[in-house]
Amino acid sequence: MLNRRRSALSPSGGRIGAFLAPLLVFAALAAWALSSPVGSSPDDDFHLTSIWCATGDSEYCAPSGDSGTRLVPPAIADPACFAYDAEKSAGCQNRIDFAAGATQETARGNFAGGYPVVYYGAMSVFVGPDVNAAVLVMRLVNIALFVGLGIALCLLLPVNRRQIVIWQWALTTVPLGLFVLSSNNPSAWAIMGVGYGWLALLGFYESRGRRRVALGAIFLLSAVMASGSRSDATIYFVLAVFAAGILAFESTQRFWLSSLLPVASFSICALLFRSSRSVDVVTSGLTEQLSFGVLIRRFVLNLTEVPSLWTGVFGQSWGLGWLDTSMPSIVWVSALAALIGAGFVAARAASIRKVVVVALGAAALAAVPVMLLVLAGKDVGEDFQPRYLLPLVVVFVGAVFFTPRTQSVELSRTQVWVIVAALSGAQFVALHLSIRRYVTGIDALGPNLDAGREWWWSLLITPNIAWIVGSMCFAGALALLLPAHRKTDLAQSDVAATNQSAEQHGIRGL
């Protein structure tokens, strides 16, 4: 008899908890969506213009007479008047013309196809005359997609695979992931596509019947999301596929036939990768002839600095937004400590395959950014940010929580609640500072976010409400999803569920 974690999304979880947990996750992320104004994520002037112009010339994106520019609303062309100055609030947007019909020429957009077009095309459905409303709707749609995919996987995956879904997101999203997932940045889809895709494939290998078909569909959707949002996410997705393949490997005909699905996903990735100018961007640094010695020095320098990209995911040295919203040490120390503590416990459930995947994952976390930076002629701190690496971090942490199907990661009740407290406290501080940075600027520190505010949405929800309610919902979601375990037999429950599904649908094997 082995321990199985009881959570709101497990069969043993209460119906109220199973219904409430996803709503709390949605509400917590919605608070983050409200915490920052239009144009708050990095290069939003480029990404928003690309969304507005994704379908070509329209009433919201008009030709300018120059093939390299377009006419778009001023709030889209140049929204980030506050960028790089943390003491400058988003109140400067009061000088921007948000009126319907106003236009401004911009050269910042995906007009030459430098980025994949899937994300921009999907978000363009929500473009409308009200820029603020359209931006908020896009953010909420991304959040709903994140929550919906999480629910689907928790319902479809075997019992002890659901713990990976919960832990990998809980331990890697404070604070950077919360900000990006609730933003208009295509990195949101990159993180979701890679982070959910590898688990869907793992479940596809291990499941049967209709569950298997549904997991395969989610996996292909994840491939489109990852490769259709950012080109570097294509690299991460392929690496994640190999990680899932190693963990699920069996020398059987069923496994090799099942592997036709990831092969199909590689075709999707290749098509979307080649549809953009990704290769030119990556190899731009090679236009300059560099000596072997210079390349070696650049390689060593980047290798010694690459850990800052890992800790930057938790807010250390790298700010949110346009890298200008710095986090205090309590945020990154708490989030990183929670990951390290839980990770050491999870690492005890070791197997040869898991050790191989984790070791290769650690190598990839160093090698991929170093390789891309050297090829581009850049150093850590130039052009490559922690959010680019976050999809791979999510998969790495998920792999740490992988166990054979007859085992689960066993954290004590005390350990779980310490982790809940650490993550909730870090999120509490991070959300407050994110709102403060845009409401008044970081120079007006104080607990009351409503006092002296210079910017906020035209909503009944105030900054204080967004902060307090969002933080309570985040803590509540963790409390529901990460409680203690009870005694049961994982192998018996999983096998019984699999056999029942196969018998109901008359399907065995493939």
| Residue given tokens 């219904």 in the structure block | 19
CA 322 to each of CA 107, 253, 325, 386: distance values in angstroms, whole numbers, following the listed order: 19, 50, 7, 12
Query: Which residue did the predictor score with more confidence, 487 or 155?
Result: 155
Q: Which of 423, 432, 419, 490 is nearest to 466 (CA)?
A: 432
Asked if pLDDT for residue 4 goes beyond 50, the answer is no
Tell me the two tokens of residue 89: 């609030």
SS3 of 54-97: CCCCECCEEECCCCCCEEECHHHHCCCCCCCCCCCCHHHHHHCC
Task: Give the residue-averaged pLDDT of 313-337.
Answer: 96
77-81, 128-132, 388-392, 405-409: least confidently modelled range:
405-409
Dihedral (Cα; 422, 149, 267, 126), 10-degree rounding: -100
DSSP 509: -
> Per residue in 146-160, pLDDT tens?
999 999 999 999 888
pLDDT, residue 287, reads 46
Tell me the two tokens of residue 283: 């190899």
Tell me the two tokens of residue 157: 């995956």
Under the banding of pLDDT at 50, 70 and 90, the label for residue 13 is low
Ranked by mean pLDDT, the top range of 38-42, 58-62, 290-294 is: 38-42
Asked if pLDDT for residue 488 goes beyond 70, the answer is no
pTM: 0.91
Q: What angle do CA 238, 40, 369 make, to 5 degrees?
A: 30
Tell me the two tokens of residue 402: 């992988």
pLDDT, residue 290, reads 61
Beta bridge partners of 71: 62, 105
pLDDT, residue 284, reads 46
CA 502 to each of CA 151, 160, 219, 252, 495: distance values in angstroms, whole numbers, following the listed order: 22, 19, 21, 19, 11
Under the banding of pLDDT at 50, 70 and 90, the label for residue 39 is very high
Rounded CA-CA distance 436/426 in Å is 15
pLDDT, residue 102, reads 86
pLDDT, residue 479, reads 94
Strands 104-106 and 70-72: antiparallel
Query: Which residue did the predictor score with more confidence, 135 or 290?
Result: 135
Cβ neighbours, 10 Å, residue 255: 13
Under the banding of pLDDT at 50, 70 and 90, the label for residue 296 is confident
> Per residue in 401-454, pLDDT tens?
999 877 788 898 999 999 999 999 999 999 999 999 999 999 988 999 999 999
pLDDT, residue 379, reads 83
pLDDT, residue 375, reads 81
29-38, 94-103, 202-211, 466-475: least confidently modelled range:
94-103
Under the banding of pLDDT at 50, 70 and 90, the label for residue 283 is very low
Asked if pLDDT for residue 99 goes beyond 90, the answer is no
Under the banding of pLDDT at 50, 70 and 90, the label for residue 14 is low
Those residues whose C-beta lies under 8 Å from the C-beta of residue 469, and which sit 6 or more positions away, are 27, 31
Amino acid in position 454: E
22-36, 110-124, 139-153, 468-482: least confidently modelled range:
110-124
Asked if pLDDT for residue 507 goes beyond 60, the answer is no
Asked if pLDDT for residue 231 goes beyond 80, the answer is yes
* Average pLDDT across the chain, whole number: 88
288 by Cβ neighbours in 10 Å (0-12 / 13-18 / 19+) ranks as exposed
Task: Give the residue-averaged pLDDT of 383-406.
Answer: 93
pLDDT, residue 57, reads 78
pLDDT, residue 495, reads 45
Cβ neighbours, 10 Å, residue 92: 17
| Residue given tokens 């069969």 in the structure block | 11
Asked if pLDDT for residue 505 goes beyond 50, the answer is no
Under the banding of pLDDT at 50, 70 and 90, the label for residue 8 is low
Please say whether the beta carbons of 385 and 318 come within 8 A: yes
CA 398 to each of CA 36, 164, 328: distance values in angstroms, whole numbers, following the listed order: 29, 5, 27
Asked if pLDDT for residue 399 goes beyond 60, the answer is yes
pLDDT, residue 3, reads 44
Query: Which residue did the predictor score with more confidence, 154 or 288?
Result: 154
Please say whether the beta carbons of 472 and 19 come within 8 A: no
pLDDT, residue 498, reads 46
Rounded CA-CA distance 180/42 in Å is 10
Please say whether the beta carbons of 130 and 73 come within 8 A: no
Rounded percentage of the chain residues whose pLDDT exceeds 70: 88
Beta bridge partners of 5: 485
108-122, 325-339, 369-383, 466-480: least confidently modelled range:
369-383
pLDDT, residue 10, reads 53
Under the banding of pLDDT at 50, 70 and 90, the label for residue 483 is low
Under the banding of pLDDT at 50, 70 and 90, the label for residue 373 is confident
66-80, 223-237, 362-376, 481-495: least confidently modelled range:
481-495
Please say whether the beta carbons of 17 and 10 come within 8 A: no
* Cis peptide upstream of residue 175 (ω within 30 degrees of 0): yes
- What is the distance of C-alpha 268 from the center of its chain? 20
